[in-house]
Structure 1
Amino acid sequence: MQANETTIGFIGTGVMGKSMAENLMKAGYPLVIHTRTKEKAQTLLDNGALWKNTIVELTDAADVIITMVGYPQDVEEIYFGEAGILNNAKSGTYVIDMTTSKPALAKEIANVASEKDLHTLDAPVSGGDVGAKNGTLAIMVGGDQTVFDKLLPIFNVIGGQIILQGEAGAGQHTKLCNQITIASNMIGVCEAVVYAKKAGLDPVRVLDSITTGAAGSWSLSNLAPRMIEGDYAPGFFVKHFIKDMTIALESAQEMEMSTPGLALSLKLYKQLAESGESDSGTQALIKLFDR
């Protein structure tokens, strides 16, 4: 899809959505926006994006609709409501839900969309605020190959590693694999940083050594430095990570699978949220260890 011929409707301009939308605009895609809080989209509006007061107005103007909201209940509302996407989008519209949500919900969206001549993909992402700003997000996609190929030019603007994982819901399942991996890893990163401090080491120098070895991970390279600096600004909110882990745990239980690492991480993050850190970045977990 050529940029100057394709208008993108974007719903949800939070920490990551805003940067993704900015990159699409820089690539030449006309953008129309609707969010619950207009102020969050003001920078985009100042740079040429057009505001739409309702989802219905947005669907009238958009050839492609991208949603990047917070929770599965938000996805249900904007897709299935009387004034939602599925009941109002023009025939032939392409719709991409990039929210981390339930695989079953992605399948439901795809089934209803096919009856209305709409083309949908579930395409959650990983890479945090840094990946969103740099246009290097990992994008995990579920849906039809033909639709994926059609939308690949758009994905190439906002992502680096873009893989069609299977049919509808496969993107969400892959993202849950991602979050399960991060869940236990974050505990290890926190423990390692605190251990280095208590051992009298310079934690920055320790990171210089261990990030390049077998212990290396995205969280170790990108979030451990923030922990050391006491920077808890959200690249990804604690409250959203709790949501993702909860979905992953429920999905694992449905498959009769044991995930003790995931369960422990979820328990610790809930404890962190109860202490007032819901809107902090996930690196704030170290506060439970560094006392």
Structure 2
Amino acid sequence: MKNRKIAFIGTGVMGASIVKHLLHAEYEVAVYTRTKAKAQQLVEAGAVWAETVAEAVAEADLIFTMVGYPTDVEEVYFGEAGIFANGAEGQIVIDMTTSSPALAKRIAEQATTLQMASIDAPVSGGDVGAQNGTLSIMCGGEQQVFNEILPILSIFGKQIVYQGVAGAGQHTKMCNQIAIATNMIGVCEALAYAEHAGLDAETVLASISSGAAGSWSLSNLAPRMLKGDFEPGFYVKHFIKDMTIALEEAEAMNLPLPGLQLARQMYDKLVQQGLGDKGTQALFKSYH
């Protein structure tokens, strides 16, 4: 796998850190993102800038995508200037965007038609996980293809699990987001309670974050909340997108998820307050 060339489409909060890990591992990486300035540091670090998606994928063996919304995924893969119109036989596409399971299946089907291969591989761990190379990666697709790309995923991921056929990675990410959604409410309410009870919230965190209440959000985002740091490790607007996908999938399965519905309503209010580009920990503002 060492001599394989990589294309990476989308260098946002997490994508940029992933590319840095690939460059550090001495892979040749071509990058494309809609705003060239966002990729400048990567180019300075050794990445090759591509003016278009077509240029990025032209000589690639593996094509990673990590964009914003399912509509962006659809454009990147199925658009006239996209991957499938400009790719080649034998290429492997790995979509790390949190997107819909149905779209992941469509990508896999088209990849097969074009004699390419596909893995849906959404991640969890936020900006910290991407920076530290400890992302959790949930994969769907053919087992053989997963096994083939596992060494590269291991460069920036720690918990990398094959979940099943195409779309299974995205379904697993929905489970992840459902668990986070109501947990974030609990984290915010615990801190608000501590403050209103006259306790030192940081001291409270020292007690509860390592006990039965412990969670990634409590350990990593609660300290940011207390410092008034609401900059994005993961955007509010993208979290709403994920919750909406999960609710739509649940509805199709006749599965009521009242906790998730409440979380989305609370996050929708943050967007109405102009906080869509803040991190998910901005939910703490709802209690002040």
User: Normalising by structure 2, what TM-score?
Assistant: 0.99
* Cα offset, 1:244, TM superposition: 0.4
Partner of 1:80: 78
Gap regions ≥5 residues in structure 1: none
Q: Give matches, 1:142-221, under 5 Å.
A: 142-221=140-219
Q: Please give the alpha-carbon distance, in whole angstroms, between the structure 1 residues aligned to 2:58 and 2:64.
A: 14
Query: What is the identity, as a one-letter code, of the residue corresponding to 1:197?
Result: E
Q: Please give the alpha-carbon distance, in whole angstroms, between the structure 2 residues aligned to 1:87 and 1:110.
A: 15
Deviations 1:128-177 (A, max 9, x none): 00000000000000000110011011100010000000000000000000
Partner of 2:105: 107
Partner of 1:233: 231
Query: What is the identity, as a one-letter code, of the residue corresponding to 2:199?
Result: L
Matched, 1:137 2:129: no
Partner of 2:23: 25
Q: Please give the alpha-carbon distance, in whole angstroms, between the structure 1 residues aligned to 2:24 and 2:229.
A: 29
* Cα offset, 1:86, TM superposition: 1.2
Q: Please give the alpha-carbon distance, in whole angstroms, between the structure 1 residues aligned to 2:259 and 2:21.
A: 36
Query: What is the identity, as a one-letter code, of the residue corresponding to 2:7?
Result: G
Q: Please give the alpha-carbon distance, in whole angstroms, between the structure 1 residues aligned to 2:63 and 2:176.
A: 25
SS in 1 for 2:160: strand
The number of residue pairs the alignment matches comes to: 288
Matched, 1:57 2:55: yes
Q: Please give the alpha-carbon distance, in whole angstroms, between the structure 2 residues aligned to 1:279 and 1:83.
A: 28
RMSD: 0.6
The answer to whether the 8 Å contact 1:32/1:61 transfers is no
Query: What is the identity, as a one-letter code, of the residue corresponding to 1:255?
Result: M
Percent identical pairs in the alignment equals: 61
Q: Give matches, 1:248-267, under 5 Å.
A: 248-267=246-265
* Cα offset, 1:82, TM superposition: 1.6
SS in 1 for 2:14: helix
Query: What is the identity, as a one-letter code, of the residue corresponding to 1:245?
Result: M
Gap regions ≥5 residues in structure 2: none
Partner of 1:222: 220
SS in 1 for 2:237: helix
User: Normalising by structure 1, what TM-score?
Assistant: 0.98
Query: What is the identity, as a one-letter code, of the residue corresponding to 2:274?
Result: G
